[in-house]
């Protein structure tokens, strides 16, 4: 039986004491720190009470969700959080644009209010920016889930080419896209090769 890795052991062999590990990445953390230095995840309950800690905790959750989501429930949760925001933001942008066009149409420059125009333009830019951020979060999470599922099955994330015979290659032989291998891909490919031979 193999020895447990040093990273996973909470026992500090040098000092003979038990050290605290991050619950997210299992790296050793300082017992008085509220967040892990390695992954940024919360390590203590204080992060749920402190207002700035709540912001950092939410940011960590969103980074985890958009990084490489492995569960469909995470993708559905991101859609439920951000998709309803897109519809009102689009209508707000269209409404502000329409009011700007109507207010500036047919007026000579003596009756043109510069303040109203630029405040409306700023409103359009803010709502468009919020819409783009919401769309990018949804897109990145959904794409990450699809790519993760393809990689788990040993397929190229771009063209779905079966990569089980191309282990260790830097690029897909079919489409030429770069392959981002998992750490445990060797074991996964060996298991799948045995299953396909049976």
29: closest CA among 7, 46, 13?
A: 7
Q: Which pLDDT score, from 0 to 100, does residue 10 have? A: 54
Residues 59 and 37 in one domain: yes
DSSP state of 171: B
Domain range for 131 is 77-149
Asked whether residue 58 is domain-assigned, the answer is yes
DSSP for 10-24, written as a single string? -EETTTTEE-EE-TT
Asked if residue 91 and residue 62 are part of one domain, the reply reads no
Whether 81 and 137 map to the same domain: the answer is yes
| Segment 32-37 long-range contacts (CB within 8 Å, at least 24 positions apart) | 35/60
Which pLDDT score, from 0 to 100, does residue 197 have?
Answer: 47
**Own/partner pairs, 98-104, CB within 8 angstroms, 24+ separation:** 100/124
Q: Is residue 43 part of a domain?
A: yes
Residue 42 forms part of a structural domain: yes
Residues 156, 150: contact at Cβ < 8 Å? yes
Q: Decide if 72 is inside a domain.
A: no
- What stretches of 97-145 adopt beta strand conformation (E)? none
The pLDDT score that the predictor gives to residue 30 is: 85
Do 47 and 13 reside in the same domain of the chain? Answer: yes
CB atoms within 10 A of CB 101: 10
Q: Do residues 139 and 170 share a domain?
A: no
- Do residues 30 and 62 share a domain? yes
**Residue where a domain terminates, one of 67, 88, 117:** 67
User: Do 86 and 31 have their domain in common?
Assistant: no
Mark the ranges of the chain whose per-residue pLDDT is less than 70.
1-18, 103-116, 181-198
60 and 90 share one domain: no
pLDDT of residue 98: 76
108: its two tokens: 């000579």
Number of compact structural domains in the chain = 3
Domain boundary (31, 47, 67) is at 67
Q: Based on the domain organization, do 52 and 2 belong to the same domain? A: yes
122 belongs to a structural domain: yes
Q: Which residues contact 185 (CB under 8 A, 6 or more apart)?
A: 167
- The neighbour count for residue 137, using CB atoms within 10 Å, is 19
Q: What is the pLDDT of residue 19?
A: 78
C-alpha distances out from residue 52 to 101, 130, 157, Å = 41, 22, 37
Residues 5 and 63 grouped into a single domain:
yes
User: How crowded is residue 141: how many other Cβ atoms within 10 Å of its Cβ?
Assistant: 23
Q: Is residue 98 part of a domain?
A: yes
Residues 28 and 20 sit within 8 Å (Cβ to Cβ): yes
Give domain status of residue 30, yes or no. Answer: yes
Same domain, 143 and 160: no
Domain-ending residue, one of 67, 89, 106:
67
What pLDDT is stored for residue 112 in this prediction? 56
User: What contacts 44, CB < 8 A, 6 or more positions away?
Assistant: 33, 34
């Amino acid at each position: 039986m193999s020895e447990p890795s040093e990273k996973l052991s909470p026992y500090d062999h040098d000092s003979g004491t038990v050290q605290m590990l991050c619950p997210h990445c299992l790296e050793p953390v300082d017992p008085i720190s509220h967040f892990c230095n390695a992954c940024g995840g919360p390590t203590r309950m204080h992060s749920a009470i402190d207002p700035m800690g709540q912001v950092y905790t939410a940011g960590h959750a969103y980074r985890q969700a958009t990084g490489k989501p492995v569960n469909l429930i995470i993708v559905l949760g991101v859609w439920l959080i951000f998709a309803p925001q897109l519809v009102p933001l689009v209508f707000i942008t269209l409404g502000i644009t329409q009011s700007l066009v109507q207010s500036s149409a047919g007026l000579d420059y003596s009756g043109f209010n510069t303040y109203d125009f630029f405040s409306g333009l700023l409103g359009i830019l803010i709502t468009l920016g919020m819409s783009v951020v919401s769309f990018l979060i949804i897109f990145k999470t959904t794409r990450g889930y699809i790519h993760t599922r393809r990689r788990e099955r040993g397929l190229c994330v771009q063209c779905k080419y079966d990569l089980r015979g191309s282990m260790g290659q830097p690029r897909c032989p079919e489409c030429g896209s770069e392959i981002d291998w998992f750490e445990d891909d060797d074991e996964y490919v060996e298991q799948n090769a045995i299953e396909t031979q049976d």
